Each structure stands twice: as C-alpha cells, then as structure tokens.
Structure 1
Amino acid sequence: MKISIDFWSLLLGIVSSLIIPVITSTVKYFNNKKSKKEFINLIRKEYVEPLTSSYVKTYSAEQYKERLKGEIGEVIKRLEYLKKNELIYLTTENQFYFLRVVEYTLSLQKHIQDIADEYEFTDTTIKEPDYHKTKLVRNKVMDEIQSYEKNVKKYAELKLNSFISTNT
C-alpha cells in the first residue's frame, strides 16, 4: 500500500499545528510561574527582610518598637507607591497576582505596626530584664513573618481572603 505525499504533508501539518501551541503555552506557563516566584522574592527581600534585621539585642523593647515603626512607615509608603503608581500600569497576565502579593505584604506591615503600637502594662515591683520584653516583641514579629511566608502564595492565588495573623 502506497501512501501519497499529500497524506504525509497533511499529517505533518496537523502534528505541527498541535505541537507548536502546546510548546508555546508550556513555555508561557513556566515563564509566568518564574516571574511570580521572582516577584515574591523581590518583595520579600525589599520589604520583609529589613524587619528581621532591625532587631538588635542591646535595644530595649521601646527602642526596638520605635525602630520598627520607622521602618514600617517607610515600607508602607513604598508599597503604596508601588501599588498605585507602578503595578496598575503593568500589562502582564500576572498583574492581579502581583497586586495581591503587595496587598498581603501591606497587611503584614500593618499587623507588625500593631505589635509595635501595643502597650504592655509594666509592674514596677517586678524587675524583669528589658531584653526579655524585646525578645517577646521580636518573637511576635517573627511569627507574623513566618505566617506571611506560609500564606502569601495562597492569598495571591485567591485561596485565602484575609491576612492570617498568629497574634490575634
């Protein structure tokens, strides 16, 4: 049985018309996934990690809280600017994802600001070392950051609808 060249041309046309879209959509999927991961890493590096490095053992709890407030105020301004003046002009499929990551990061910053704004009753009869209070505040901050790390992708992918705080 002899198969004509027209059959092979038709078969090659069908196969190539199926393979090329599959390859391009696969490449597009992995590029989107890579850009999402890179954006989360950028946000983490620029806006979350500075909060972990602001801890100094010799600071009192009040000094640490004041330093946190200063850093958070600056980070919130930068994130708001990013959201309002830069991300809205993106024309990628990931724009909504990026906006959700920024919103979740803003929620983290606001929760940490609430921790810094907390006033704890200090019993004047008990002489508790001040570094212990500083460590307690830092532990609360680190708990919030760990919760953020665990849930930021879920929030961006609409699997969560609000910030999950460990200190509420």
Structure 2
Amino acid sequence: MDKVLISSLLSFISGSLFVSVISKLYNVYLFSKFKKMINTEYVDGIEYLDNNGISKLSARLTYLKNHELCYYKNDDQIKYIRFIEFTLMLVKEIQDIDKTHPLLDIPGRNGTKERELQITQKKKVLEQYKLSYSKYSSLKTDYLLTENEQISLKKELEKELEELNS
C-alpha cells in the first residue's frame, strides 16, 4: 500500500510540475513573439523617421498599452506593459535627439552631415535599448539611459555639431 501511495504522489507531483513548466515555456514563447513584433513594427528603422513619424509611432504604442494590453490577462502582463513603456522611452530619447538638431530645419541648408550625425546618435540610443530591454521588462532596471548617460550623449552631440559648423 505504501508503494501505491508513493507512486500516486510522485505521479501527481510530476504531472503538476510538467503542466507548470509547459505553461511557463508557452508564456516565454508568447513574450518572445511579442518582443519580435514590437521590434519589427515599431523599432526597426526608427532612426530614419522624422518627428511626424515618431509622433505617430508613439501614439500607436500608447494606444497598444492603454487599450489593448489592458485586456490581456496573463501572469506576465507586467512584462508586456513594461516592454511597451521601455519602447516609449526609446521613442522619447529619439525625439530628444531630433530636438537638438535645429540646423536641419533651416530652409536651403542641405544638412547631410548633421543628418548623418543625428542618425549615429539615434543608433547609439537604439543599441542601449537592445542591451537593456530584457532587464527593464523583468524589473531589474528602471531607465533606458541614466541621467549621466543622457548628459554625456547630449554633450557629445553638441561638440560634434560645433565641429561641423567650424
């Protein structure tokens, strides 16, 4: 009788663990598909968008977070919301870089070098985003760029712009 009890108990435990592991793996799979969709639809090519395109992208991400993800009930829902928030941080940083380039808005000015510099700065922020989004969505960090990194990036950009204008 003890062997039957032990066997039943082990079967119950292993069955419960199996269902739990499969469920967790499925949630990981779904989140990886979600990240791929966000990167494909919203992040890839963001460095080449103008302010109007970036504003539309921001509005779409905000809508996704506020009106679609709120209905998605999952144990990992916070990861999805934080991933969208982190992507919105990226969008804001890209917009800030656009604001530091007033020379591109002057009519009659080619601005090719400034545009290349702007794209280079955006790519640096994008690299930081790709390195940090897993940490942010799993609650291990709470920023895209630290305040010092933001200041450093802006000083570097201003210095390069001054060199271009000299």
Report TM bin, short chain: 0.7 to 0.9
RMSD: 2.1
The answer to whether structure 1 residue 115 and structure 2 residue 97 are counterparts is yes
More helix by share: 2
Q: Which runs of 5+ in 1 are unaligned?
A: 1-5, 55-66, 123-128
Which of 12, 15, 24 pairs up with 1:29?
A: 24
Q: Do structure 1's residue 84 and structure 2's residue 71 form an aligned pair?
A: no
1:87 is displaced (CA, Å) by: 0.6
Q: What secondary structure does 2:50 align onto?
A: helix
From 74, 79, 97, the counterpart of 1:97:
79
State the alpha-carbon separation in 2 of the partners of residues 90 and 42 from structure 1: 16
Tell which has more relative contact order, 1 or 2 (C-alpha 8 A, sep 6+). 1
1:42 counterpart residue number: 37
Check if 1:144 corresponds to 2:139: no
- C-alpha separation in 2, matches of 1:113 and 1:17: 55
Distance 1:111 1:42 in 2: 21
Q: Distance in 2 between matches of 1:76 and 1:50?
A: 14
- Deviating above 3 A after TM superposition, structure 1's stretches of 4 or more consecutive aligned residues are 119-122
- Letter of the structure 2 residue corresponding to residue 159 of structure 1: K
**Which segments of 5 or more consecutive residues in structure 2 lack a partner in the other structure?**
105-109, 155-166
Number of residue pairs the alignment of both structures matches: 145
Aligned to 1:71: 53
1:118 deviation in Å?
A: 1.2
- Inter-partner Cα distance in structure 1 for 2:37 and 2:55: 19
Identity, % of aligned pairs? Answer: 24
Query: TM-score scaled to structure 2, two decimals?
Result: 0.79
The normalised TM-score by structure 1 is 0.78
CA distance in 2, matches of 1:146, 1:163: 10
